[in-house]
Amino acid sequence: MPRPYLAHLGVFDILHNTRVNGPGRRNLLVVRGCTIKCPGCANRSTHRPAEKLTTVLEVATRLLEGYPDGITISGGEPFEQLPAIALLCYMLRYKRRDLSIILYTGLEVGDAVRARDALASDNLMGLEVDVIFHGPYKKDLRITDKEREGLCLPVGSRNQGALLLSDRHSLLELMTRNVSEVHVNSDGSAVSTGFPNTQEEAE
């Protein structure tokens, strides 16, 4: 199996024009591969590493299609492909300085910051994102349907938080209610995304 490296990414899917994965109209990258494997994870089908990798350039090109307000990077675990993710963000920002970038990780905030700093000190580029939603999903702390009736962060469990790395978004702007989307393609296939009541993928 090929190992992800700087210029390639393991991609599970790319979804265009989603409105439930951060502020505005966003394109969503779902990376493949996660070794954290939180019990009760909603996205277990993304855990297996990719058998085929995609060039970062191709991913960037697809993510910029349709002139979105922002990009959200989810998974899988993006930090397990951090050099390639950093390169992707650099490319996206090179093309569009105004682009909002949000990244999800299952790492605790301290580990995420250390990984980002280590990347920079290795003389590679920094991680140019506006917001990191961090923390492993914890089944027993799942945000309930009732709690989502008010505004809350777009995360799965109460231990997860947001690290703001720029002044592009305020915490209030990132807050959301119980929202989800189903995108039905012309071939009859469909994608469901967002923060619905049923957080866990069927066993």
Contacts with other proteins, residue ranges (CB under 8 A): 12-13, 15, 17, 19-21, 28, 30, 41-43, 45-46, 72, 74-75, 104, 106, 137, 145, 148-149, 154, 156, 177-197, 199, 201
Smallest gap from Cβ 64 to other proteins, in A, equals 16
Least distance in angstroms from the C-beta of 135 to other proteins: 11
Contacts of 22 (CB under 8 A, 6+ apart): 70, 72, 100, 102, 131, 154, 174
Give 46 or 54: the residue with its C-beta nearer to other proteins.
46
Q: Which residues pair with 14 in a beta bridge?
A: 29
Least distance in Å: CB of 96 to other proteins? 20
CA distances to 21, 73, 108, 185, 186 from 133, in Å? 11, 10, 10, 29, 32
CA distance 53 to 183: 25
**CB closer to other proteins, 124 vs 142:** 142
Q: How many whole angstroms separate alpha carbon 102 and alpha carbon 152?
A: 16
How many Cβ atoms are within 10 Å of 84's Cβ, its own excluded? 23
Q: Which is nearer to other proteins, 111 or 124 (CB)?
A: 111
Cβ at position 37, least distance to other proteins in Å: 12
Choose between 57 and 184: whose C-beta lies nearer to other proteins. 184
